[in-house]
Structure 1
Amino acid sequence: MVSTAAADNPWFSWSYVTENADVLWARTTEHALLTVEAVAIAALVAIPLGLLASRVRWLAGPLLGTAAILYTVPSLALFAILAPIMGIGRQPVLLGLVLYALLVILRNTVTGLDGVDPAAVDAARGVGHGPLQVLARVRLPNALPSIMAGLRLATVTTVALVTVGVVVGYGGLGQLMFQGFRNNFYRAEIMTATIACVLLALVLDLVLWAAGRALTPWLRGRSA
């Protein structure tokens, strides 16, 4: 038998969704834009660093080690450290997300570049390709699947971490989750925000998967 309290506070309510559609859309958009921006900035930093680490081998250890140390800092602690320095709001959350995404993208970039067949590189050099041509035509295309896998993993992870940004006043869908907990544990609000986070992660992952497929047509031909 369902209690009156449980009936009045369901885990999901379609009426809540329809009545708060504007707020849900605004928070989801905020969440998505912050995720995309953080991963894009991290990629712009991590991929060139990965190229450098792959070329200057002694740099790989320090770069990956530094990124790993940043990754091990608990998200709540990191945002708490950044807030007094940068203030409350979007900027500390964005920086924290970028720092967390660096390791995954950097590691996958280095792994992908290191996994390129040396025979293919030697063959490119043998036909007269210079270092930049070898990089653009051989090394990066062959490393691209690993790089895209890193971007996908970083994106899904970032979607989850954005919600923690609520501790410094900017958490996207995390704002609704936190509000639901404060509002007498309003289940529908918490569950709706959670489902929206999962769907957002799936959509962004699917977009990156499709982009990876489009950028590597030779892999489709090989699998066929």
Structure 2
Amino acid sequence: MTVSSIEPSPNPTVPASTTVRPPRRLRHLSLADVIVTPAVLLAVLAALMVYLNSRELDDIEQRSINWPTISRLLVEHIQLVAVSSLLVIAIAVPTGVLLTRPALRHASGPILALANLGQAVPSIGVLVLLAVTVGTGFRMAIIALVLVAFLSVLRNTIVGLMGVDRALIDAARGMGLTKTRVLFLVELPLSVPVMLAGIRVALILNVGNAALASYTNAGGLGTLIQAGIALNRMPVLITGCVLAAVLALTLDWLAGVVERVVRPRGL
């Protein structure tokens, strides 16, 4: 009788066939999430280039539609959106967290009512009011953008935290976690989708309202829109509008990708 010898695997702990899987965080993203939106936005920019190259621009249009001018205005617009959005998040999220704590929960109603009142005021009205009473420029535009976008982040922070299942909080407390650890380990992670939805709305609001900041000498892509209207130059107006829309959609796409990546598993 012969005994067949079986050669052991060089690494018995590793299966013979292994497949490389993407990280769990990236499984929330589909191919459409990563490719479709950027492709559409690039197609819109390409269509804008074709439109501008098909026209003979006069001297006024050439002074407004050139790469140095557009890049400078785009950087100014991004600065307005970035600074105002970071300030909104830094102020609204902690405020929303505090208003959901038992000691201050009774004050959430009046503060939300005040925020709703501020949201009802038109953006251009806030900009003009600050320009008349305080002054013009970058800082005053930032204050106006923060006031306009504050409500969406504050409200979604409160709604997200208040929507966490109380049984999960009680279970975490029963395991011996402190209130602070429950907040950071249970409540905030579970409320991330709702909070990020408010931040996405704030980003879009700031991109659109930053275009109005040009009327208060704050720069940005609104300068092209303002010049196109004042000078009756349609190519200048279309360029400013398309670039502002593409910037808004790009930020919304990036925020959506971040939202899917940081969303806890199971939500």
Query: Which TM bucket (shorter chain)?
Result: 0.7 to 0.9
* Matching of residue 216 in structure 1 with residue 263 in structure 2: yes
TM-score, with normalisation over the residues of structure 1?
0.88
1:171-211: per-residue Cα shift (whole Å, max 9, x none)? 4111111111122x111110011110111011111111122
Q: How far off is 1:12 after superposition?
A: 4.0
The structure richer in helix per residue is: 1
Q: How far off is 1:217 after superposition?
A: 4.4
Q: Judge conservation of contact 1:28–1:172 (CA < 8 Å) in 2.
A: yes
Alignment correspondent of 1:3: none
Q: Judge conservation of contact 1:12–1:187 (CA < 8 Å) in 2.
A: no
Q: Following superposition of structure 1 onto structure 2, how do residues 61-210 of structure 1 map, counting pairs within 5 Å?
A: 61-183=109-231, 185-210=232-257
1:136-164: per-residue Cα shift (whole Å, max 9, x none)? 00000011100100000110111111111
1:14-55: per-residue Cα shift (whole Å, max 9, x none)? 376996122111111211121111111011111111111111
TM-score, with normalisation over the residues of structure 2?
0.74
- Distance (whole Å) between structure 1 residues aligned to residue 134 and residue 261 of structure 2: 39
* Pairs aligned (count): 209
Give the partner amino acid of 1:213.
R
**Percent identity between the aligned chains?**
32
SS at match of 1:88: coil
Give the partner amino acid of 1:157.
L
Q: How far off is 1:214 after superposition?
A: 2.0
Give the partner amino acid of 1:25.
S
- Distance (whole Å) between structure 1 residues aligned to residue 109 and residue 207 of structure 2: 28
SS at match of 2:183: helix
1:114-134: per-residue Cα shift (whole Å, max 9, x none)? 110111101100100001000
| 30-39 or 137-146, larger mean C-alpha shift | 30-39
SS at match of 2:190: helix
- Distance (whole Å) between structure 2 residues aligned to residue 109 and residue 69 of structure 1: 18
Give the partner amino acid of 1:216.
R
SS at match of 1:218: coil
Residue 13 (structure 1) aligned to one of 39, 49, 52:
52
Give the partner amino acid of 1:186.
R
Segments of structure 2 that go 5 or more residues without pairing to the other structure are 1-49
Q: Judge conservation of contact 1:12–1:191 (CA < 8 Å) in 2.
A: no
Q: Judge conservation of contact 2:190–2:264 (CA < 8 Å) in 1.
A: no
Segments of structure 1 that go 5 or more residues without pairing to the other structure are 1-10
| Structure number with bigger Rg | 2
- Distance (whole Å) between structure 2 residues aligned to residue 99 and residue 52 of structure 1: 19
Q: How far off is 1:86 after superposition?
A: 2.8
- Distance (whole Å) between structure 1 residues aligned to residue 171 and residue 98 of structure 2: 22
- Distance (whole Å) between structure 2 residues aligned to residue 41 and residue 126 of structure 1: 36
